[in-house]
Amino acid sequence: MTGALKDIRVLDLSRVLAGPVCTQILGDLGADIIKIEKPGEGDDTRYWGPPFLKDKDGNDTSESAYYLSANRNKKSVAIDIKTEEGQEIIHKLLEKSDVLIQNFKKGGLEKYGLGYEQIKEKHPHIVYCSITGFGQTGPLSTEPGYDYLAQAMGGLMAITGEPDGEPMKAGVALSDFITGLYATIGILSALHARKENSKGQLVDLALLDCTLSSLTNLAQYYLTSGSAAPRMGNAHSTIVPYHTFKASDGFIVLAIGNDGQFKKFCDFSGHPEWAEDEKFSTNKARVLNRGDLIPLIKEKIIGETSAHWIDGLRKVDVPCGPVNTIDKVFEMEQIHAREMQIKMDHSASPEPLKLVGNPLKLSDTPTEYKNAPPVLGQHTEEVLKDLLGQSDEEVLELKKSGVIGA
């Protein structure tokens, strides 16, 4: 790898999504990611399907779409960390690493000698990233954490869904994903700070904290007003019109962010009088009178095709776009121009594996795609021999004793 993080090695003890999202980003940026997995089982998400990757005979492999989405540019090493020998290997790898990331429950790794204070004592240079549901402090710190719980407890579900409907989770594991992004930021910050004193530190991430931070303006809505923001469905609590509308052949989104754009929309729509009406002329007025304005816009938009509105409004610089299904997203020329769909060769697949590309576009140290998501234990021997200098005999003995995957 020749990316921006080519001199960084990460020991990845995380599973499922938040941690793997973080380490995939670091791997795309050039870091050497060693993914530690339990022999014979591996990351839970390997089995979260269907769908699964198909082999040359069209049969399901043990590589689920879920797992494939967050595990490229990693080496899979199958080690049983419950054994003393496995723990010794982890410590040897830490001597040659910069970062350890894990998402065990609070206290879960201490019994294996791999808790933060234990690692800090033996390997003070290590940046230690812990991802849990509720963090290392507070009354809930020992509770298990899951994305669904974080979305519910962190307020995200309460603001998602139709106003008179049930609270609704996001369509993806958004709390996990956001936590993965914050973990990446925290690790890079700690690595930068380490340049001054050669010391690592604890990066403590909680799904609940990261979910709350994602509420941004709606969390501040409450802190400023003392009232919880209402659930708005596809509308916006403080911007109008910022809404989904049905055209004659499908749905579109209007994202009008200022009064000038609203005037251009009204002119294009053939209703310049809307922009002159004191009930609608400013965003503040439109928010207060959305119940009068939105039905007028709905009645107008449904009379024309999506293309009429999207093409016409783009020409006058009014934000407007289609509500795409995922298949339509991957058909977009823009997506291909930005290399947001990539292909990688995979040992279990006769065809190149299609994956979502990394959105980071760096001019001098671009992201790289070197290793497809590994099969369980694929790089165990390679890492033990090449990085730790262990002999064929030593590796064979570790296999026989069950310390590493066969």
Report whether 85 contacts 403 (CB < 8 A).
yes
Half-sphere exposure of 393 (CA within 13 A, CB side): 0
Report whether 36 contacts 77 (CB < 8 A).
yes
DSSP 386: I
Phi and psi, residue 134, nearest 5°: -130, 5
Q: Who's near 203: CB < 8 A, 6+ residues apart?
A: 127, 128, 129, 130, 183, 186, 187, 189, 190
Instruction: Quote the tokens at residue 197.
Output: 């004193």
Instruction: Quote the tokens at residue 219.
Output: 């969390």
End-to-end CA distance of the chain: 28
Cα separation, 251 vs 146, whole angstroms: 33
pLDDT in tens, the chain (406 residues): 579 999 999 999 999 999 999 999 999 999 999 999 999 999 999 999 999 999 988 999 989 999 999 999 999 999 999 999 999 999 999 999 999 999 999 999 999 999 999 999 999 999 999 999 999 999 999 999 999 999 999 999 999 999 999 999 999 999 999 999 999 999 999 999 999 999 999 999 999 999 999 999 999 999 999 999 989 999 998 999 999 999 999 999 999 999 999 999 999 999 999 999 999 999 999 999 999 999 999 999 999 999 999 999 999 999 999 999 999 999 999 999 999 999 999 988 999 999 999 999 999 999 999 999 999 999 999 999 999 999 999 999 999 999 999 7
| Helix, strand or coil, per DSSP, at residue 305 | coil
Report whether 212 contacts 151 (CB < 8 A).
no
Q: Which domains does the chain have, with CATH numbers?
A: 9-214+362-400 (3.40.50.10540), 242-328 (3.30.1540.10)
The residues that are catalytic are 176
Cα separation, 372 vs 368, whole angstroms: 11
Q: How many other C-beta atoms lie within 10 A of the C-beta of residue 356?
A: 15
E strand or H helix at 63: strand 60-64
Overall pTM surpassing 0.75 (yes/no)? yes
